[in-house]
Structure 1
């Protein structure tokens, strides 16, 4: 199949902007619990639609009082927290455009985005962020105002706006149209400078409203449940922003969690008790790894392994039944599944707060077996696919008909087309307006209404899309063999000891790989074998560790021809991190940077070999 379309379920409004929902909801149902917010003691408190509207209005008046005007761009640099959502809707209420910044961004990254977007004011979370902005402010003449959340920014702005009448905000809000720019979100910059994607109010409406209409059933674990989600994705990423907008427009209770560490996230999930969550595959990988290590540490590693196998086979049987290819799980399998549900799967669900039965995953590919395990454990992970340029998900697995290992079908109102070379093209109301002040770059990706994504994929007969790699990342060996690194890397990474894998081999005689280890997993693996963890520089040359990694490489090589297989690999002592410039803030590999930093190690893969 070369093209597949799913018609829209919701038509975007012809007037108004994103902030209108806040005011309309408060008017219609002022007592509706719109958000959850932790107080100073860490307890969750309800925020009603009326209270949220009043806070948005008060902050919007303060922004006007401090000189923010219709069309101005205001940067927000913070972790995921309640105040970010408050600022977004306050800025949209007066026709201004928030520009997100990752809280981990370097001074030069901050400078580039603030200058590129022509930002006139900036909101930061704490003093470190203020110092980062302050270090480049002399090169940003348009930046004239800076507010710090942890220094009372919201209270100060609210006080400043007391002299402004409510109607002034409403006049600004009524001037916003669906075609007005809502935000400028910069791409992650895996291959170069980030580009500012101009996303309109209509883009968010088309995306959020159709997702809510199609996936509304997944938001509630059971009939009558109050739909709630805990947002721990970074709001600087388009996925997080889309979730925020969809929650407010879809009347889903929204909570915020700034830290992704297990020590912080797991208690927050238990306290907030969401009915569904949205995350990147890394989160599900860590949850699975933590469950496995806990079981092994308690001497229950073998039963856990059997439970995983039963969950996978159970989910596969249900998958086949959903597509008319089988009768579903047999009696014996159902019996074993019930047993492990009490012993293992219930604990996995409890780690997510106890009420989660559905989750959505995006940002990168999820291993098919991992998705099957969670589905078998009672948490159906619906994998999707999208870009900053598509305001989040353009494709996602539908509830009840998940095809694991694919990213699903187009969300309602979206079309997918495969170009002659296999490139994925997308069209729909969520496709962006273009790159900020860069018509040449815009023309390069927008073709007669279609967005050329740069990703390669396949479409099956039912319109399910599978991403197979990126055009710019295809390797061509000196023998002329084209190799897509992504499937090999994902298979190697499936081994619990592996953190990252980068496949190399462009203009080389064969394919090689640079591999980093998961330090926590390796320490646990050694402890289970009664071995203390040696110095890390010694560990990367440990023959037992190398043998385990070799097994992962051999398993990956079974997927491809001999000419495409990994013939040499090197275990690295360092880690690929954002701080070293080797990962983007959304945890994507910066391949060119990795190969530059580890140029000597790459050369050693080929030295003396033919």
Structure 2
């Protein structure tokens, strides 16, 4: 009701430029109930990108969370003729230009006043909300652009509801559950997760930030949550680091617990009994190790969901062996977003699960995954040519390559656009190789390169603590120390040994023939990661173009 006093009406575009918080959800639901259209904008994007999205979407209102975000909105004023008002989640400063500036608190007060001035206003609003139809546009989500330029994905109310109904047929949630939200709500994955929570009576609690997640897990004690592979990998790294720091009998018990968990994770999900030897040590490991892992996650987790990027199979299996079930799924913004998910009790590691009951998948001749269903987008905003290309022959072309096994489970091979073609015409899928490299104890990040080159190679970001420990030296304190450590022949030998282990099962043309070490950690702020922690391949390649050139000159 308050937003309507600012001119919001059916079909109006309203942007939200904010970090994840309850106000984000309140604003979104208010916009949707009025028949208007929510335009999420990541708070991590630049002022230039904010202006581009506001201008392209034709947003008339933008809700900003902080003075920093408001500054981006005000800087976009000259490029956005449709933009009339900025709404702040803090006390609004005085307007200095064409744009009106008002606080969310004041907007809420306006809505409350309309109700107290006449109860008929509230009834009229509810009546208008009932006129919102399934085919109405609900949101325009601009893709984060890990490869290529962002496009505005148009999703209708019908798209979103169809996805919720499909998910609910696979995952059982109820009012006794508590969900912890820590991913950006701007992303379709987390936004849909929250919708699923709300429609099933789940209590939703927001983490302060992804950095405070270990603390927030202990406070909130969630029963369910969604995450991305990088989060689970970091959780596992912390567990293993703590275990390696133990000595004597504690270290021996920890090593036994990891061995048993790996053995159970390698057998039980595949329908095989756990090896006989694991059954004797499991009870004591459960009491001394696995229960402590569960307690560090709050002690009540029933299952977690992983999406947005491929989950390393060894990570999923090891957590399974310790009692934490990670259900890997797959989808895209264009599909609202979920297409597949591993059902509880029927996990197939290495796959992203079977399609939801209301989703149809098939594999094209070139291996591309094609999707059809009521959750598939209306199209790309203001981009009819891109829409036609993506929806050719009535199927949505995902841009991902994969296969469907005999049980109907989907296996992702790679992004179609990220397949590396060497100068000899050989095709190399980088993601499985990179995942295997990240599974090595000395390697934190890996980026396979080799497009139109004689052979594939790799950029390596080491795990500095592990590398230093293996060499019996202190971890480097800064980038200069990292450079010095990486230059030591014995350090390069350890990294090469890890690469050799990954190379062993690969075809000759897939083997990594050279590597270069990089010392800067990947981050969202640095521009190497998307808001959902996926590596921006092209950004990294451009940033380290000189190192790549040196590899192939040599």
- State yes or no: 1:100 paired with 2:45: no
Encode CA deviations 1:379-423: one digit per residue, 9 max, x unaligned: 111101000101122011111111111111001211110000110
Equivalent runs, 1:10-159 vs 2, <5 Å: 61-151=1-91, 153-159=103-109
For structure 1, the 5+ residue unaligned runs are: 1-60
1:295 has 2:230 as partner: no
Cα deviation, 1:106-156, whole Å, max 9, x if unaligned, reads 111111111111111111111111122222222222211112213373321
Match for residue 206 of structure 2? 256
CA distance in 2, matches of 1:559, 1:487: 12
Deviation per CA, 1:164-188, whole angstroms, max 9, x where unpaired? 2202321321221111111111112
Partners of 2:29 and 2:391 in 1: CA distance: 29
User: Paired residue for 2:475?
Assistant: 533
Q: Give distance in 1, aligned partners of 2:204 and 2:521.
A: 34
Aligned to 2:395: 450
Q: 1:186: which partner in 2?
A: 142
Tell me what 1:459 maps to: 404
Contact 2:442 2:466 in 1 (8 A): no
1:525 CA drift (Å): 5.2
- SS of 2:398's equivalent in the other structure is strand
TM-score, normalising length from structure 1?
0.84
Counterpart CA distance in 1 for 2:339 and 2:87 is 35
**Equivalent position of 2:348 in the other structure:** 403
Q: Equivalents in 2 of 1:486, 1:465: separation in Å?
A: 16
Q: 1:481 to 1:525 in 2, by over 3 A?
A: closer
1:266 to 201, 204, 214: 214
1:282 to 2:238 alignment: no
Q: How many residues align?
A: 532
Instruction: Select 2:515's aligned residue among 542, 561, 569.
Output: 569
Separation in structure 2 between the aligned mates of residue 339 and residue 252 of structure 1, nearest angstrom: 34
CA contact (8 A) 2:367 2:403 kept: yes
Residue 200 to residue 307, structure 1, CA distance change in 2 (3 Å): same
What SS does the corresponding residue of 2:183 show, helix, strand or coil? coil
Q: Residue 468 and residue 380 in structure 1: after superposition, are their counterparts in 2 closer, same or farther (change >3 A)?
A: same
Contact 1:390–1:430 under 8 Å retained in 2: yes
Q: Give the superposition deviation at 1:462.
A: 0.5
> Cα 1:530–1:554, aligned 2, differ >3 Å: closer, same or farther?
closer
Instruction: Indicate conservation of the 8 Å contact 1:314/1:337, yes or no.
Output: no
Q: Secondary structure at the match of 2:159?
A: helix
- CA positional deviation for 1:304: 2.9
Counterpart pick for 1:238 among 183, 188, 208 = 188
What is the TM-score normalised by the length of structure 2?
0.92
Structure 1 residue 301, shift from structure 2 partner: 5.0
- Structure 1 runs of 4+ aligned residues shifted over 6 Å read none
CA contact (8 A) 1:209 1:249 kept: no
Q: Distance in 2 between matches of 1:374 and 1:172?
A: 48
**Is the 2:38–2:139 Cα contact (8 Å) retained in structure 1?**
yes
Shift of 1:236: 0.8
With over 3 angstroms needed to count, the CA separation of the structure-2 counterparts of 1:460 and 1:207, relative to structure 1, is: same
Instruction: Report SS of the residue matched to 1:90.
Output: helix
Tell me the equivalent position of 2:260: 310
Q: How many angstroms does 1:424 deviate by?
A: 0.4
Asked if structure 1 preserves the Cα contact closer than 8 Å seen for 2:13 and 2:61, the reply is yes
Is the Cα contact below 8 Å between 1:126 and 1:151 reproduced in 2?
A: no
SS of the residue corresponding to residue 540 of structure 1 reads: helix
Q: Which residue of 1 aligns with 2:159?
A: 203
Displacement of 1:497 after TM fit? Answer: 3.5
Match of 2:489 in 1: 543
- State the shift of 1:530 in Å: 4.7
Q: 1:301 to 1:443 in 2, by over 3 A?
A: farther
Tell whether the 8 Å contact from 2:471 to 2:491 is kept in structure 1 after alignment.
no
Residue 274 of structure 1 aligns to a residue whose secondary structure is: coil
Q: 2:291 is matched with which residue: 346, 367, 376? A: 346
Contact 1:209/1:250 (CA < 8 Å) preserved in 2?
no
Q: Which among 414, 426, 429 is matched to residue 359 of structure 2?
A: 414
Do 1:199 and 1:391's aligned partners in 2 also have CA atoms closer than 8 Å? yes
Which residue of structure 1 aligns with residue 133 of structure 2? 177
